């Protein structure tokens, strides 16, 4: 039975940490290849992330700028025309105050002072490049900006068939300007800074993330290989750090459960050896026994051993069931009803006084079945050792609700205060027990997030305590 439970947990450990486990798949982000060797390092991971982020940034920026230009296109055109109106006026005045025969020379002179092309073109040559509305406005002497790409502006010289054409504005003519002051160089520098602004922080983030994942992956591989002592080191990436803590907690729980199942399997095998030997011997004796009285004694011994094995099986199943619980369901327990049920269960002899004291506490948040089982075991243990008095009480100590079972027996030596809670451990041999009662008390307390302890009692014997987390309601009372 117990060995089967141990194999179940071993199978679960292999599923959690094995080669096909979710943990291993999560830690394979750097691309594990054949033989467990990594095909790709953090740089290839960085390149994939970088290209993805870069494309997203570019899509957002280009899309946003394009949408904004589309929305503000008409206002932008009017603004650009307003900017060019003064320039065209000054050029127009130069031409109007110059003999038309000198206009070609004046055009060459003006070109030398402009950073973009300047031309004097016939009016009729522009009709094909403009919309009807623009052509009509140009004929009337208005400033016209080409609607297709806003790269040219035109204005007719009054009383003539000549038009001053400025542009293409993208064709900038620069004379004597250092290369580092050119617009396209500025654009390249800004673009390089944009790429670096994404690359540098992303590289260090990916490197740290990859390095921490490899540490966790190494821990998962060690656990899958059977080294349940392996633990993930502290990692520096805050996104990964909780995963390391969760992995360590899970590994600790698996190790604790497997160790508990191992101890249980060994102890059960040891405990059933003696009853089975006696039963085998009794069966051999039954075959040769002729006396009815002798046969009745042998049958009585067999029945006692069967009951002992049934008791062992029931206690082992209970211990394994509670030990497997990841979380325990809690509810509000009426302490008055709980203590009344416990008083009905136990009927101590007249020489023993069993007292219950709630200390004014009406209820507690816990699992009723598990808490009652733990208190029953503590009271049964006290009944075996007490001389005259057993006191069951509950008090509030700081942030814990403490259940205490005091007796006036011989007590527990301080050196044995931890050993007494180990499964299948009996400080004083009890022919009807197996050493699982106090072990169950400790498991119940730990599943509630508390602990079980033993200390000297004010009655002179032992004070067994179950501390459960709660909110302080009453002043602290100590044993």
Write the CATH number for 342: 3.30.565.10
Contacts of 35 (CB under 8 A, 6+ apart): none
User: How is the chain split among helix, strand and coil, in percent rounded to 5?
Assistant: 60, 15, 30
Give the total number of structural domains in the chain.
1
Asked whether residue 372 is assigned to any structural domain, the reply reads: yes
Cα distance between residue 274 and residue 26, in whole Å: 50
Cα distance between residue 350 and residue 46, in whole Å: 80
Cβ contact 431:452 at 8 Å: no
Q: Which strand ranges, in their side-by-side order, compose the sheet holding 462-469?
A: 353-357, 389-397, 400-407, 462-469, 451-456
How far are the Cα atoms of 176, 346, 354, 369, 426 from residue 383, in angstroms, in the given order?
108, 9, 9, 21, 15
**Short-list 258, 261, 275, CA closest to 434:** 275
47, burial (CB in 10 Å: exposed 0-12, middle 13-18, buried 19+): middle
Q: What is the DSSP string of 207-222?
A: HHHHHHHHHHHHHHHH
Q: What is the DSSP string of 222-246?
A: HHHTT-TT--PPP-S-TTTHHHHHH
Cα distance between residue 343 and residue 346, in whole Å: 6
Asked whether residue 164 is assigned to any structural domain, the reply reads: no
**Three-point CA angle 262, 264, 268, nearest 5°:** 125
Residue 101's pLDDT is: 92
User: Across-strand partners of 333?
Assistant: 364
Question: How do beta strands 400-407 and 363-366 pair?
Answer: unpaired
Residue 36's pLDDT is: 44
Asked whether residue 350 is assigned to any structural domain, the reply reads: yes
Helix ranges (DSSP H) in 289-361: 292-324, 335-345
- What's the DSSP call for residue 424? T
Cα distance between residue 16 and residue 24, in whole Å: 8
Q: Kindly state the tokens that stand for 331.
A: 């509810």
Domain that holds residue 446: 331-469
Asked whether residue 67 is assigned to any structural domain, the reply reads: no
Cβ contact 174:114 at 8 Å: no
Asked whether residue 305 is assigned to any structural domain, the reply reads: no
**Short-list 113, 130, 250, CA closest to 174:** 113
How far are the Cα atoms of 253, 264, 361, 440, 448 from residue 260, in angstroms, in the given order?
10, 6, 35, 12, 18
Question: How do beta strands 462-469 and 400-407 pair?
Answer: antiparallel
One pLDDT digit (tens) per residue for the chain, 479 residues:
444 444 555 555 555 555 555 545 544 544 444 344 444 567 777 788 788 888 888 888 888 877 876 776 656 667 777 888 899 999 999 999 999 999 999 999 998 888 888 999 999 999 888 888 889 999 999 999 886 666 889 999 999 999 999 988 776 655 555 656 566 677 788 888 888 888 888 777 777 888 888 888 888 888 888 887 888 888 777 777 888 888 888 888 777 767 766 665 655 665 566 667 767 777 777 777 667 777 777 777 777 767 767 766 766 666 666 666 656 778 889 999 999 988 888 877 778 889 999 888 888 988 888 888 889 889 988 888 888 999 999 998 888 899 999 999 888 877 777 778 776 666 555 555 556 778 888 888 888 888 899 989 889 899 999 999 874 433 333 44
Cα distance between residue 424 and residue 260, in whole Å: 11
User: Across-strand partners of 85?
Assistant: none
Cβ contact 240:213 at 8 Å: yes
Q: Kindly state the tokens that stand for 218.
A: 């190494």
Contacts of 332 (CB under 8 A, 6+ apart): 363, 364, 365
Residue 173's pLDDT is: 59
Cα distance between residue 130 and residue 123, in whole Å: 11
**Three-point CA angle 400, 401, 407, nearest 5°:** 120
Cα distance between residue 384 and residue 411, in whole Å: 12
User: Across-strand partners of 334?
Assistant: 363
Asked whether residue 216 is assigned to any structural domain, the reply reads: no
Dihedral, 319, 325, 331, 336 alpha carbons, nearest 10: 10
Asked whether residue 391 is assigned to any structural domain, the reply reads: yes
Asked whether residue 45 is assigned to any structural domain, the reply reads: no
Cα distance between residue 435 and residue 438, in whole Å: 7
Cα distance between residue 461 and residue 479, in whole Å: 11
Cα distance between residue 112 and residue 293, in whole Å: 137
């Amino acid at each position: 039975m117990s060995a089967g439970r141990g194999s179940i947990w071993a199978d679960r450990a292999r599923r959690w940490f094995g080669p096909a486990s979710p943990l291993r798949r999560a830690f394979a982000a750097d691309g594990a290849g054949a033989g467990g060797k990594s095909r790709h390092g953090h740089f290839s991971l960085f390149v994939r992330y970088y290209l993805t982020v870069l494309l997203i940034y570019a899509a957002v920026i280009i899309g946003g700028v394009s949408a904004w230009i589309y929305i503000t296109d008409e206002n932008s055109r009017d603004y650009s025309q307003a900017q060019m109106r003064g320039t065209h006026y000054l050029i127009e005045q130069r031409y109007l105050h110059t003999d038309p025969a000198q206009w070609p020379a004046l055009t060459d002179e003006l070109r030398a002072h402009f950073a973009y092309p300047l031309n004097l073109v016939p009016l009729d040559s522009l009709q094909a490049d403009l919309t009807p509305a623009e052509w009509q406005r140009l004929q009337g002497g208005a400033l016209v900006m080409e609607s297709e790409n806003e790269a040219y502006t035109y204005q007719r010289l009054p009383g003539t068939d000549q038009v001053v054409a400025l542009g293409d504005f993208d064709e900038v003519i620069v004379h004597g300007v250092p290369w580092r002051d050119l617009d396209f160089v500025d654009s390249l520098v800004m673009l390089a800074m944009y790429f670096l602004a994404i690359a540098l922080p992303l590289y260090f983030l990916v490197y740290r993330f990859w390095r921490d994942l490899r540490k966790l992956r190494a821990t998962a591989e060690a656990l899958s290989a059977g080294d349940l002592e392996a633990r993930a080191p502290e990692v520096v990436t805050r996104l990964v750090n909780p995963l390391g803590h969760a992995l360590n907690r899970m590994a600790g729980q698996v190790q604790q459960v497997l160790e508990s199942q191992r101890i249980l399997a060994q102890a059960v095998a040891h405990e059933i050896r003696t009853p089975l030997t006696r039963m085998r011997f009794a069966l051999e004796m039954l075959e040769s026994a002729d006396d009815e009285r002798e046969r009745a004694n042998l049958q009585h011994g067999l029945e006692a051993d069967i009951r002992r094995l049934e008791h062992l099986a029931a206690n082992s199943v209970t211990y394994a069931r509670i030990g497997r619980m990841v979380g325990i369901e809690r509810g509000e327990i009426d302490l008055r009803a709980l203590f009344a049920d416990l008083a009905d269960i136990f009927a101590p002899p007249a020489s023993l006084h069993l007292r219950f004291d709630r200390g004014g506490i009406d209820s507690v948040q816990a699992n009723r079945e598990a808490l009652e089982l733990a208190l029953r075991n503590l009271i049964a243990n006290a009944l075996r050792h007490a001389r005259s008095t057993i006191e069951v009480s509950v008090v509030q100590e700081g942030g814990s609700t403490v259940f205490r079972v005091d007796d006036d027996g011989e007590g527990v030596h301080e050196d044995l205060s931890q050993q007494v809670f180990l499964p299948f451990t009996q400080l004083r041999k009890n022919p009807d027990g197996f050493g699982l009662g106090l072990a169950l008390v400790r498991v119940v307390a730990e599943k509630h997030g508390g602990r079980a302890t033993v200390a000297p009692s004010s009655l002179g014997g032992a004070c067994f305590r179950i501390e459960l987390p709660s909110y302080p309601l009453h002043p602290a009372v100590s044993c």
